Amino acid sequence: MNLCWNEIKRKSHNIRVRLEAFSDNSGKLQLSLQEIIEWLTAKDEELSAQLPIGGDVGAVQHQREFNQAFMEDVKSRGPFIYSVLESAQAFLAQHPFQEPEETLADGKEVSPHRRILNVSRSVWKQANVASDLWEKLTARCVDRHRHMEMTLERLLQIQAAMEELAVALEQAEGVRAAWEPVGDLFIDSLQDHIDATKLFKEELTQVKEGMKHINDLAHQLAISDVHLSMDNARALEHLNSRWKVLQASIEERLKQLQDAHRDFGPGSQHFLSSSVQIPWERAISPNKVPYYINHQAQTTCWDHPKMTELYQALADMNNIKFSAYRTAMKLRKVQKALRLDLVVLSSLVDVFREQELQQGEHVMDVVEMIHSLTSLYEKLEEERSILVNIPLCVDMCLNWLLNVYDSARNGKMRALSFKMGLVSLCNADVQEKYKYLFRQVSGAGGLTDQRHLSLLLHEAIQIPRQLGEVAAFGGSNVEPSVRSCFRVAPGKPAIEVSHFLEWMSLEPQSMVWLPVLHRVAAAESTKHQAKCYVCKQCPIKGFRYRSLKQFNVDICQTCFLTGRTTKGKKLHYPIMEYYTPTTSGERMRDFAKTLKNKFRSKQYFTKHPQRGYLPVQSVLEAESTETPCSSPKLPHADTHSRIEHYASRYVAYCNTSNHFTSVSLFPLQLLPPPPPLLSLLPLL
């Protein structure tokens, strides 16, 4: 019994010794772990206390130095922490625990084994907390270091960029300060200043990119919870404000220059405002089409006041009974009013080339028309060495072209229309006009098809149409004229310029007004040594009409064209027109012709009517009447030979292939005059 009791006491003593040793080791380990936990917690709070990161270079550099010292302190503590954690790991390896923690009843004594398990569990918890705090602190130190380095780099970039931008803005503001007021600039220099301002704006592209870059950097810092210091924020705001003011001043300067260039520059319509006098004012619609305001009458109209006066003067010619001559004389008056009688074809061609109007399909706006017309009249003034009222001429010519080709005032016109109007009224040989106009619709091979010829004739017929005379020239439908022209070259899909000239030499009904216009112009300065049988005028000025039925009967153009005759002198008898002085040979031939006609009856002249034009078949047909035959253009030409040549060719066409019909839509002579041409619109 004693032996057993002694054995029990010995084992109990050993257990007590082991428990005391275990308690001593675990206590030291727990104290070390608790010390580490408290130190790591304090360091984490110390690291958090350094936030936020400063917003200027100095503050960040100071914080970076502190962070480096902080990291060194943490790093120096690392070996001790690792050794304690390793000791805890070894302790837990010797004293593992698997049972879950149990809650004991009050008053119940804890067994030694349970106490060892509780100590092991406590060490495990402390070791986990210490390990987590250590990993978190070291990771935060690394992140804080990386964040500070990036922040410092961005702040240094912002600081350098702000210094560069401040210098660039100061230089740009110096350029802006040197700008002259727009009102003090010469009109001719406006475009140069516009170009210089645009170049200046382009040169500031780097400043614009620099401002965007520093603003992006500041935004990136704000996203990373780094806000610029008050000084940096104020400096950046000041730079942004200066840049916005500079941008606004450049845009305003450019707008002022462009407005001035538009309103007063070479391409503006401002110089045309002097074309009217008080109480009239020239205004411009949104599509750049001009209109005119009468402040006294409080009315507006599309037509220039001088154009209105011109149309009223044209109305005085309505007593001319022959439509072709009535139209030609009206156009002659328009030609003189627009000073186009002084413009030669070569000048027109040069202007068209300078304005790049080579393609007839190109659509021009009003500004392009004004540019071309201004260049044309400036060239006229330079070449003729005469004083030309350029604003008035440009405005009047533009007004007439718009009336002819853009009566709706859309502000658009085809280049072919523009050319047709100017070429028709310029001072050039009629054959040269035909050739030039044909080239505008011909292809690379010098040929034109029916569609393009139709387009050309359509543009041409608009001129008499604007005067209200289109009915006498076959109406607005040009297809019969196109078919008539292509009969000169039967079976061919396209015609050459020679075919077109041959057809035009027959003076087709739709185009007869153009050669008549040339004869009217040529006859103005002509004097005939003869006395008018009706009004007794001597010498006869202008056209001279000689009767081929009665001897010594000459009529001046006023009496003939207005229908003034004496008793017994009928206009339906053969009449020869002269717009150049007659030669002795022509007088002898006229005498022979008159003698021959003396023996012809009235029925003969009824069956053999005379026409001075080539009639064109139309859908509606009416009885045709005669116009006087035309004399040749040149004084030395053989009048009767030319007339007989044209007549024989015309008869050959009719008899052999029925090329031309002998009826016309309306008579050229007796069509009533059109109503007055006025264009009014309500007061805007």
Tell me, letter by letter, the H, E, C secondary structure of 614-645. Answer: ECCCCCCCECCCCCCECCCCCCCCCHHHHHHH
590-607 residue pLDDT tens: 656 655 565 455 555 555
Q: What is the pLDDT of residue 663?
A: 26
Residues 213-259 have pLDDT tens digits of 888 888 877 777 777 778 878 888 989 999 999 999 999 999 999 88
State residue 598's pLDDT score: 56
8 A C-beta contact, residue 383 and residue 458: no
* Alpha carbon distance 393, 373 (integer Å): 8
Q: Give the pLDDT confidence score for residue 671 in this predicted structure.
A: 41
CB contact at 8 A, 184 and 257: no
Give phi and psi for 34, each to the nearest 5. -65, -40
10 or 285, which is more confident: 285
Looking at the structure, do residues 68 and 141 belong to the same domain, yes or no? yes
Instruction: Check pLDDT > 80 for residue 275.
Output: yes
Whether 275 is covered by a domain: the verdict is: no
623, pLDDT greater than 50 = no
Q: pLDDT value at position 569?
A: 53
- Do residues 625 and 562 both lie within one domain? yes
Instruction: Identify the CATH number of the domain in which residue 79 sits.
Output: 1.20.58.60
Neighbours of 124 (CB within 10 A): 18
Q: Are residues 587 and 562 in the same domain?
A: yes
Q: Please check whether residue 94 lies inside any domain of the structure.
A: yes
Residues 598 and 585 in one domain: yes
What is residue 665's predicted lDDT score, i.e. its pLDDT? Answer: 27
Domain edge (last residue) among 180, 199, 224: 224
Tell me whether residue 377 is in a domain: yes
**pLDDT at residue 675 greater than cutoff 60:** no
Same domain for 391 and 354: yes
53 lies in which domain range?
20-99+110-224
Which residues are registered as beta bridge partners of 363?
414
Same domain, 61 and 123: yes
pLDDT at 678: 35
Mean pLDDT lowest for which of 382-386, 462-466, 658-662?
658-662
Strand order in the sheet with 299-301: 280-284, 290-294, 299-301, 680-681
Q: Assign 684 a pLDDT band (cuts: 50, 70, 90).
A: very low
Mean pLDDT of the chain: 76
In a domain, 596, yes or no: yes
pLDDT over threshold 90, residue 405:
yes
> In this structure, are 532 and 463 located in the same domain?
no
Mean pLDDT of 55-59: 70
Residue 1 within a domain: no
Q: What's the CATH code of the domain at 496?
A: 1.10.238.10
Task: Write down the pLDDT at residue 12.
Answer: 58
Residues 47 and 145 placed together within one structural domain of the fold: yes
Residue that finishes a domain, picked among 205, 224, 243: 224
Residue 356 is assigned to a structural domain of this protein: yes
Do 337 and 350 fall into the same domain? yes
Contact 162, 214 (CB under 8 A): yes
What is the rounded (10 degree) CA torsion for 362, 363, 368, 372? 50
Task: Write the Ramachandran bin of 192: left for phi over 0, alpha for psi from -120 to 50, otherwise beta.
Answer: alpha
pLDDT recorded at residue 34: 77
Q: 614 has which bridge partners?
A: 508
Among 162, 196, 224, the domain-final residue is 224
Q: State whether 140 and 173 are in the same domain.
A: yes
In angstroms, the CA 569 to CA 532 distance is 13
Provide the domain count of the chain: 3
Do 387 and 532 lie in one domain? The reply is no
Bridge partners (DSSP) listed for residue 412 = 365
Q: What whole-number distance in Å separates Cα of residue 470 and Cα of residue 459? A: 12
pLDDT greater at residue 243 or residue 73: 243
Q: Are residues 119 and 181 in the same domain?
A: yes
Q: pLDDT band at residue 35, thresholds of 50, 70 and 90? A: confident
What per-residue confidence (pLDDT) applies to 626? Answer: 33
Residue range 298-353, pLDDT digits in tens:
999 999 999 999 999 999 888 888 888 899 999 999 999 999 999 999 999 999 99
Using CA atoms, how far apart are residues 160 and 315, in angstroms rounded to an integer?
81
List the Cα angle 462/466/468 in 5-degree steps.
Answer: 115
Q: What is the pLDDT of residues 194-208, one digit of tens each?
A: 999 999 999 999 989
Determine which of 11-15, 171-175, 244-248, 357-361 has the lowest per-residue pLDDT on average.
11-15
Tokens coding 100: 């879950």
Q: 675 in a domain, yes or no?
A: no
Distance, in Å, from the CA atom of 352 to the CA atom of 455, rounded to the nearest integer, reads 19
The reply to whether 497 falls in a domain is yes
